[in-house]
């Protein structure tokens, strides 16, 4: 089992012919993900072949619109590498075409644009992951995003994180102690994102083959506290957590637009306190995540 993406995912890449889209589509294809279409307005009817250095690339048909790609290539999920100025429109175009899984890698999307896109996606009943995220991977089945596929191992531990880099560290720690992952979700660190911790955790709660969860948060906002409350009341699997940004000075943005402590709210201490009260085992270093998960599972 898995959540959001699996071997039945038929992926569409929006912005496939741009530099980021070309580079990462090659790696997505190399991993074995079923990429069925690409969208670049004005290039419909052509074929994407990557570049001369793409050893694993295979031809992917290009379309002018997402609707056309969904109708003709039967795409059921999309990943977005469109520049920030146009990414919110790309998100809404995907939702309007009926896609239910939308993963946006793009960073720097204006908050005003994301407010509109978020509301539109919700009105269509779609799931948006991101923006400003590494994506989603179900090891051995589908990689949709920019994460390094080779560090992942198929297994039963879910991972959800606001930080892309710390997602990779958690996966590396799990793999090193012999624990594979069911699905890994990088939700992104922007102020407005489509999938919050609580949304991802609900998915893992419903997945019978996910036996444990790693949750990596950071300062800013109250998403971790909300997730902790849900875990306390509804999530009956072992959870190991880590909060990044303990030493960040108040009022200063630390990497992610959403990672800012203001008005005395969103501190690491508040989040750790809430998580521990919910029964989550919170570690002091991301290097301890794998061992802590082994212990939580009783191994």
User: Over the stretch 100-148, which tens digit does the pLDDT of each residue have?
Assistant: 999 999 999 999 999 999 999 999 999 999 999 999 999 999 999 999 9
Catalytic residue list contains 24: no
- pLDDT above 70 for 261: no
166-170, 178-182, 254-258, 266-270: least confidently modelled range: 254-258
Domain boundaries, the chain: 11-129, 147-296
- pLDDT above 80 for 196: yes
Beta bridge partners of 154: 181
Confidence of residue 259 (pLDDT cuts 50, 70, 90): very low
The first and second tokens of residue 138, run together, are 């179900």
pLDDT for res 219:
86
Same fold, 11-129 and 147-296: yes
pLDDT for res 248:
59
> Which member of 24, 172, 234, 256 is catalytic?
256
**Tell me: domain 11-129, CATH 3.40.50.300, correct?**
no
104 — phi, psi (to 5°)? -110, 115
- pLDDT above 70 for 285: yes
If you search the block for the tokens 């994102």, which residue do you land on? Answer: 193
Side by side, the strands of the sheet bearing 142-145 are 142-145, 135-138, 181-186, 154-161, 212-218, 239-244, 281-282
Q: Which one, of 175, 190, 195, 184, lies nearest residue 132 by Cα?
A: 190
pLDDT in tens, 224-249: 999 999 999 999 999 999 998 776 56
d(CA 141, CA 4): 11
State in words which class domain 147-296 has: alpha beta
If you average pLDDT over every residue of the chain, what do you get?
92
Output the pTM of the full model.
0.92
The first and second tokens of residue 265, run together, are 């709210």
| Average pLDDT score over residue span 239-262 | 65
* Buried/exposed code over 87-120 (b: 16+ C-beta within 10 A; e: otherwise): bbebbbbbbbbebbbbbbbbbebeeebbeebbeb
């Amino acid at each position: 089992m898995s959540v959001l993406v699996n071997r039945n995912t038929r992926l569409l890449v929006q912005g496939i012919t741009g530099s980021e889209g070309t580079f990462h589509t090659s790696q997505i294809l190399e991993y074995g993900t079923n990429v069925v279409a690409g969208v670049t307005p004005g290039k419909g009817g052509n074929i994407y072949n990557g570049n001369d250095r793409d050893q694993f690339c295979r031809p992917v048909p290009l379309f002018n619109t997402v609707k056309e790609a969904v109708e003709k290539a039967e795409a059921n999920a999309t990943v977005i590498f469109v520049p920030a100025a146009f990414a919110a429109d790309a998100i809404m175009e995907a939702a309007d075409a009926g896609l239910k899984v939308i993963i946006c890698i793009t960073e720097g999307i204006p908050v005003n644009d994301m407010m509109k896109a978020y509301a539109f996606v919700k009105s269509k009943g779609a799931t948006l992951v991101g923006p400003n995220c590494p994506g989603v991977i179900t090891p051995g089945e589908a990689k949709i995003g920019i994460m390094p596929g080779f560090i992942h191992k198929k297994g039963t531990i879910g991972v959800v994180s606001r930080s892309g880099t710390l997602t990779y560290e958690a996966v590396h720690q799990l793999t090193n102690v012999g624990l594979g992952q069911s699905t890994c979700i990088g939700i992104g660190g922007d102020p407005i994102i489509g999938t919050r911790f609580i949304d991802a955790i609900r998915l893992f709660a419903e997945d019978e083959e996910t036996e444990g969860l790693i949750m990596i948060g950071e300062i800013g906002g109250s998403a971790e506290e909300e997730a902790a409350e849900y875990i306390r009341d509804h999530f009956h699997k072992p959870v190991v957590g880590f909060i990044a940004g303990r030493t960040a000075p108040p009022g200063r943005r630390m990497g992610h637009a959403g990672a800012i402590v203001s008005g005395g709210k969103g501190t690491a201490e508040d989040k750790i306190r809430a998580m521990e009260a919910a029964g989550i085992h919170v570690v002091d270093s991301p290097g301890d995540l794998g061992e802590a998960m082994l212990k939580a599972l009783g191994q």
